[in-house]
Amino acid sequence: MKYEILNMSINYPTLAHFRHLSHFRHSIIITCFQIHSFMQNKANFGNDKMNINTFITMRYANFNAWLGPKNKPNSKPIKPIQTQFNPKQTQFKANWSEAQILSLSKDQTQFIERPKMKSHDNYLDLGALIRYNVPAKIINSMEIIALNPWFETAGVILVALFGVFLGRVFSGFRKSWWSLGYFLPFTLVLIMVLTRYNNELHFVRPFSWIVAGRMKFIFLSFAVTMGLTVPLSRLPRKIEKVLVCLLMVGVVIWYSVLPFLVPALIKDHLSNIQTRLSSNGLCFQSTDYTCGPAAAVTALGKLGLSAEEGEIAVLSHTSPVAGTLPACLSSALQNRYGPAGLRCKYRHFDSIEQLKNAGLTLIMVSDSFLLDHCLVVLEVSDEAVTVADPMAGLMSIPHEQFRKIWRYSGIVMERDRSQSI
């Protein structure tokens, strides 16, 4: 499948003025750029003075609408080219089987390459849409095939039902063989417990495969349903079976379904959060569960990047049920600000000395039982650790106290200035 690039001569970095969006009949891949210098030989496009600063990469070539600029009577429509542009070589290449997706942050003037994707995949640079102030109604009107949160939720439910199926299979075994049905659920739960009390295991395979990001919620739904279904048929009383079923449903809904469903339900609420910054650049969290996004705003500000608490919360799948998972936060920050030179790495630390040498880091500390809190490490001295708490502000914590609450992991953040203005 070929990709058609439609070039537009627009002098403003916004999608709000695009026309004919209702004419699009197919899924589209959108990347937005603010480009002050496109290429040396602009005469190839029929206008030496043309400032080409926005691209729309179409998934299909059979569209007729041309998104021309407004108030530009002297601009000539550029004929769509069924090739893929390579900005590094300042020329067009034909017959590419993959789409080279490019994105550019608001404060950049150079291209940043992003990983290639298969031609049948769909991609939406949501960060770019938000940066360029695209109205929500326009985004919603685009026929974009994305991973629907309802599909994610349905997937979790299917995994839970598969656990019920396997539990029924093992419960039908004779004698003591049916007890083998406890082995897999018990192993999964044990891995989750061990990683909770030994954070280093988060970064060790195969533990990392199970507890990485929201995957642990999926495995938990399977472990709970299979583990509780195995003895279900052997319970003597009906009331006992009903209670076990209710327990199973309650645990799966609260700990597995809601972490996927709630972020979608509260997306509009999170998007409308007003970022609160102090005079010294510290961001204070707006809700009880957005400490991670708020801490990230503070850290990004220290690196010279503007950020919004609500946007990061949406991209990180933040919810009052699960909070903000460090792995999800790290991935969201990397995807959103990677084109601006940001590099994030979620890693384990052995000591405070390692944290001192790491630089700007988002860390997780134990706030209460099964509840963590996110802080920004600004400085590590020989006596104390200076942190920005999105709840309490600037704090200095002695090493001894810090060791008791720190979970010995964090998101190291650094920025490559060569990719910024």
- Domains of the chain plus CATH, in order, are 1-146 (no CATH), 149-264 (no CATH), 274-419 (3.90.70.10)
**How far apart (Å, rounded) are the C-alpha atoms in residues 25 and 143?**
8
DSSP state of 68: P
Do residues 190 and 294 touch, judged by C-beta distance below 8 A?
no
pLDDT of residue 228: 93
Encoded tokens for 383 = 């006596």
Is residue 394 over pLDDT 80?
A: yes
pLDDT digits (tens, 9 = 90+) for 242-278: 999 999 999 999 999 999 999 989 999 999 999 999 9
pLDDT of residue 332: 95
pLDDT digits (tens, 9 = 90+) for 145-203: 345 778 888 999 999 999 999 999 988 887 777 888 889 999 999 999 999 888 888 88
**How far apart (Å, rounded) are the C-alpha atoms in residues 78 and 320?**
49
pLDDT of residue 136: 46
Residue 217's closest CA among 158, 264, 259, 262? 259
Those residues with Cβ within 8 angstroms of residue 10's Cβ, 6 or more apart along the chain or in another chain? 17, 51, 53, 54, 69, 72
Q: What is the dihedral of CA 205, 260, 30, 310, to 10 degrees?
A: -100
pLDDT of residue 118: 32
List the helix and strand counts (H, then E) for the chain: 14, 15
pLDDT of residue 420: 54
**How far apart (Å, rounded) are the C-alpha atoms in residues 367 and 406?**
9
